[in-house]
Amino acid sequence: MERWPWPSGGAWLLVAARALLQLLRSDLRLGRPLLAALALLAALDWLCQRLLPPPAALAVLAAAGWIALSRLARPQRLPVATRAVLITGCDSGFGKETAKKLDSMGFTVLATVLELNSPGAIELRTCCSPRLRLLQMDLTKPGDISRVLEFTKAHTTSTGLWGLVNNAGHNEVVADAELSPVATFRSCMEVNFFGALELTKGLLPLLRSSRGRIVTVGSPAGDMPYPCLGAYGTSKAAVALLMDTFSCELLPWGVKVSIIQPGCFKTESVRNVGQWEKRKQLLLANLPQELLQAYGKDYIEHLHGQFLHSLRLAMSDLTPVVDAITDALLAAQPRRRYYPGQGLGLMYFIHYYLPEGLRRRFLQAFFISHCLPRALQPGQPGTTPPQDAAQDPNLSPGPSPAVAR
């Protein structure tokens, strides 16, 4: 049987060049991801020529090319027009930068802040257009939420409300769950879960009417057990499940829901070392004597030092998160999840596919590596160290000398 002729190398280069030009005219960015995809397709072409009959090889190559290039394509964007968006937590960080970006794009931005005279609020008032409106709101106060809801309904009658960005977040303790006061769990839930829940429910009539968007800033700490972030991670896990529920229930209304799971970024709250020092001192001052004796002050100091050390790896450029929020608001088909930040792909791969012991060790190496509590250290009277703790290479007998103080 006569075999189909396979195009020569020169012919393939010509076809690839023409296809590349056509794709660049449409919706692909020329960069390392695109070049890598083309290199992989060329390697696949070489394998197909040698391992498969021409019809099967063409089918495989066509399918692989469509999948690879469609993943790299710019998503179709909706026009900004007169769309209005409410963003919470705009005093600093992701909220402030997103408010500035959306205002520059022509959105009508309703930006909530804890204090109208905070540095972030003053910056927004100075650098943004008159379209941006600053609203004072504390998500732990129902009266503040009700006032913002009424203002939003009154000031979006002509444009409608296109999007809600649940950005405001709260965390005040970095410590083991046993060392964290129950009040800390409640305060995290009040802001990160119940506040977002009440505001979202209050705005749903407007969002259903516009077939708009709900974008919520979550955290990988809500997907995996980060050491010493029990209160914060629990609240973020709760709000992520809530948003997944909204995503299913609001589908018939045309409302699309996205969750942003950013890596570690240097927002103002992360950079405020003095604030974390005060919180550590407050934790020590209010810790029950029994727990302080069992764990020891050195243990808490070690956790604090490890936490500050991990923050040195944080990214200072907040653009990936701002771009993810913008895409979730304007993409014709936004993703359910966005993962802006370095190393998150590897982190989630380890979390979902590797054994539990390796997952735990990776998080400890990446974030906080515990030392042995005082009561479990050799030579201490009372409790004998359990076999698991004695054999765990990630537990040191005391604070790590590698952590800068």
Task: Note whether 39 and 94 are same-domain residues.
Answer: no
Task: Note whether 67 and 102 are same-domain residues.
Answer: no
Task: Note whether 169 and 26 are same-domain residues.
Answer: no
Instruction: Enumerate the β-bridge partners of residue 112.
Output: 135
Task: Note whether 33 and 129 are same-domain residues.
Answer: no
The whole-number pLDDT of residue 389 equals 52
For residue 106, being part of any structural domain is answered with: yes
The whole-number pLDDT of residue 25 equals 46
- What is the maximum span of the chain, computed from C-alpha positions, in angstroms? 87
- DSSP-derived 3-state class of residue 117: coil
Q: Average pLDDT in the 77-82 region? A: 87
- How is residue 360 written in tokens? 């735990």
Task: Note whether 146 and 25 are same-domain residues.
Answer: no
Task: Note whether 127 and 175 are same-domain residues.
Answer: yes
The whole-number pLDDT of residue 238 equals 98
% of residues, the chain, pLDDT over 70? 83
> How far is residue 87's CA from residue 169's CA, in Å, rounded to a whole number?
12
Residues catalogued as catalytic? 232
Provide the CATH number for the domain around residue 254: 3.40.50.720
For residue 44, being part of any structural domain is answered with: yes
Indicate the angle between helix axes 344-353 and 356-366, nearest 10 degrees: 150
pLDDT band at 383 (very low <50, low <70, confident <90, very high): low
DSSP string computed for 313-375: T-BS--HHHHHHHHHHHHBSS--SEE--STTHHHHHHHHHHS-HHHHHHHHHHHT---B--GG
Task: Note whether 220 and 268 are same-domain residues.
Answer: yes
Task: Note whether 198 and 335 are same-domain residues.
Answer: yes
For residue 178, being part of any structural domain is answered with: yes
User: Is 48:57 a contact under the CB 8 Å cutoff?
Assistant: yes
Query: What count of residues does the chain have?
Result: 405
- How is residue 156 written in tokens? 């979006």
Q: What's the burial of 375, exposed, middle or buried (CB within 10 Å: 0-12/13-18/19+)?
A: middle
Place of tokens 């000031």: 155
> How far is residue 11's CA from residue 85's CA, in Å, rounded to a whole number?
51
Helix (H) or strand (E) run with residue 274 in it: helix 273-286
User: Is 217:169 a contact under the CB 8 Å cutoff?
Assistant: yes
User: Is 226:233 a contact under the CB 8 Å cutoff?
Assistant: yes
Place of tokens 């960080």: 93
For residue 128, being part of any structural domain is answered with: yes
Task: Note whether 308 and 211 are same-domain residues.
Answer: yes
pLDDT band at 405 (very low <50, low <70, confident <90, very high): very low
Closest residue by Cα to residue 270 from 370, 169, 400: 169
The whole-number pLDDT of residue 91 equals 95
Q: Average pLDDT in the 235-252 region? A: 98
pLDDT band at 40 (very low <50, low <70, confident <90, very high): confident
Q: What digits encode the pLDDT tens for the residues 162-201?
A: 999 999 999 989 999 999 999 999 999 999 999 999 999 9
Instruction: Enumerate the β-bridge partners of residue 163.
Output: 85, 213
Q: Average pLDDT in the 222-249 region? A: 96
Least confident of 15-29, 271-285, 290-304: 15-29
> How far is residue 220's CA from residue 226's CA, in Å, rounded to a whole number?
8
Residue 209 has pLDDT above 70, yes or no: yes
Task: State the total domains in the chain.
Answer: 2
State the Cα torsion 62-67-69-74 to the nearest 10°.
140
For residue 51, being part of any structural domain is answered with: yes
For residue 100, being part of any structural domain is answered with: yes
Question: What are the angstrom distances between the C-alpha of 198 and each of 114, 137, 188?
Answer: 17, 13, 15
Closest residue by Cα to residue 238 from 223, 255, 257: 223
Task: Note whether 171 and 275 are same-domain residues.
Answer: yes
pTM: 0.79
For residue 174, being part of any structural domain is answered with: yes
> How far is residue 365's CA from residue 4's CA, in Å, rounded to a whole number?
55
Q: Give the Cβ contact number of residue 169 at 10 Å.
A: 26
Edge-to-edge order in the sheet of strand 337-338: 133-136, 108-113, 84-87, 163-166, 213-217, 256-260, 337-338
% of residues, the chain, pLDDT over 90? 58
For residue 8, being part of any structural domain is answered with: no
Q: Which domain holds residue 124?
A: 84-367
Q: Average pLDDT in the 338-344 region? A: 91
User: Is 332:316 a contact under the CB 8 Å cutoff?
Assistant: no
Task: Note whether 156 and 282 are same-domain residues.
Answer: yes
Please count the helices (runs of H) and the strands (runs of E) in the chain.
17, 7
The whole-number pLDDT of residue 252 equals 97
Least confident of 255-269, 323-337, 352-366: 352-366
Task: Note whether 249 and 320 are same-domain residues.
Answer: yes
Q: Average pLDDT in the 101-106 region? A: 96
